[in-house]
Amino acid sequence: MARNKEAVVLVIDVGPSMHSVLPEIEKVCSLLIQKKLVFSRYDEVGFVLFGTADTKNELKEEIGGYEHVTVLRNIKVVDEDLVDALQKLPRGSVPGDFLDAIVVGMDMLIKKFGQTNKAKKRLCLITNAASLIKDPFEGTKEDQVNTIATQMTAQGMKMDCVIVRMKQDWETNRRIMEENDFLMSVFSNKSSSKVVYVESPTSLLGALRTRNISPVTIYRGDFEISAQLKIKVWVYKKTSEEKFPTLKKYSDKAPSTDKFATHEIKVDYEYKSIEDPNKVVPPEQRIKGFQYGPQVVPISSAELEAVKFKPEKSVKLLGFTDASNVMRHYYLKDVNIFIAEPGNKKAILALSALARAMKEMNKVAIV
C-alpha cells in the first residue's frame, strides 16, 4: 500500500435495534466512499456487517464461532461497486456482538497487510452498543477486550467507535448499554481508539471522518515582537481549502477490446529556429526570454537566480488593530495556528500573556 494511503474496515451493526438509523448510515457511508473516490482513490476499504441472520467470515470457517457476522466485501481499492452496495444494507434479524465483529475486521487487516503500514490501518465501528455481549469461554469480558486492544496496538491499528444512541435505547437496555460503554472505555484506554456518541442520525456526518491527517509545522522559529523581544513559536496549518484533483487528458483512440490500454496522452514539445524552421533547437541552446515592450529580453538562468528575491523566513509583528476593523471576508483564507515552542516555559508564558491581553483589549495582531 502506498505511502499516505489508508485501509479502512467499516464494521456496521445491522441488528433489529439499528433498523431505524440504517438509512442515515447508508447515506453517510456512501458519502465517505464517494469522497475517497475523489480525493483518496487509492485507499482500500472492507465491509463487515454484524447482527445478520447468516454468517460469512473466514474465522467461522477456520476455528468456529463468530456467528451472525458477515463480510460484505473484502479489503479492496475503493470503486463505484462499493457505493452501490452501501445504498441498501441488508437488515439483520438478531442482536449483534460488536466484539466478534471487531475481531473479524482485525483478522481481515492482519491477513491483508500483516505487520506492514502500521499507521494506515483503521477500523470504524458503527453501533448503538445496546445488545448483550456473550461471555467468553475463559476470563471476563474485560479480559477479552484487553486482549483485543493489546493485539490491535501490536498490529498498529486504530479504531473509531461511533455509538448511535436514541432516547428509546436508554429506556429498554440501560444495564446492557452501561456495561458496553465500560468495555468501550477499556478500548480507549488500552489502544488507539476513539469513542464518539451521537444522539441523532444527522450527527453521524460529523462523527464519521474520512482519514486522520497528522499536523505538520509550516514554520518554526522566532515570532519577532521587536528587536529586543522574540518568542519561539511553531506554526501549524489549522484549516485549508480542499481542492479537486487535477483532471488528466484521456484518449479514447485505443480499441475497446484492449484491456491493457492506459488511455494516457503524452505531449512532447519541440523548439525550432525562426531562421530555419526545420531545425530543432536543443535544450542547451535555449534561453528564457521576457517581454519588455515590443522586445523580448533574453535572461539566462544564472542571471535570473542572481536577481531573484530571496526573503528571510520569519514572522514579524507589524502592529495591532481593533478586532472590529477586520472584516469577515478576511477570514476566507487558510487558517494557521500559533503555539509556543513545546517545552519552552518562557515562550509559553509570553505567548499566553500576549493572547490574553489581545483578548481583553479586543485587539488583533498584524504579522
User: How confident is the model over 55-65, as a mean pLDDT?
Assistant: 87
User: How confident is the model over 25-51, as a mean pLDDT?
Assistant: 83
Return the pLDDT at 273. 83
Return the pLDDT at 332. 76
User: How confident is the model over 288-313, as a mean pLDDT?
Assistant: 85
How far apart, in Å, do the first and last CA atoms of the chain sit?
42
Q: Residue 144 half-sphere exposure, CB side, CA atoms within 13 Å?
A: 19
User: How confident is the model over 44-64, as a mean pLDDT?
Assistant: 88
Checking if the pLDDT of 358 tops 90, the result is yes
The grid coordinates listed for 217 are: 509545522
pTM (predicted TM-score) = 0.63
Checking if the pLDDT of 184 tops 80, the result is yes
Phi, psi of 228 (to 5 degrees): -100, -15
The proportion of the chain whose per-residue pLDDT surpasses 90, expressed as a percent, equals 14
The grid coordinates listed for 14 are: 445491522
Checking if the pLDDT of 212 tops 60, the result is no
Query: What separation in angstroms does the CA of 79 have from each of 103, 121, 210, 356?
Result: 25, 19, 15, 50
* Residue 221 backbone class (left: φ over 0; alpha: ψ -120 to 50; beta: rest): left
Question: Binning pLDDT at 50, 70 and 90, where does residue 1 land?
Answer: very low
Question: What are the tens digits of pLDDT across the range 79-132?
Answer: 777 777 787 888 888 888 888 899 998 988 888 887 665 547 888 888 888 888
Q: Which domains, from first to last, does the chain contain?
A: 7-207 (3.40.50.410), 217-242+311-366 (2.40.290.10)
User: How confident is the model over 29-49, as a mean pLDDT?
Assistant: 82
Q: Give the mean pLDDT of the chain.
A: 83
- CA neighbor of 58 nearest in space, from 46, 50, 66: 66
User: How confident is the model over 244-262, as a mean pLDDT?
Assistant: 77
Q: Which residues pair with 340 in a beta bridge?
A: 233
The proportion of the chain whose per-residue pLDDT surpasses 70, expressed as a percent, equals 92
- What does the chain come to in residues? 367
Helix, strand, coil distribution of the chain in percent, nearest 5:
35, 25, 40
Question: What are the tens digits of pLDDT across the range 218-232?
Answer: 899 999 998 889 999
Return the pLDDT at 168. 61
CB 131 within 8 A of CB 92: no
Q: If you ran DSSP here, which 8-state letter would residue 306 be given?
A: H
Interacting residues of 19 by C-beta distance below 8 A, sequence separation 6+: 91
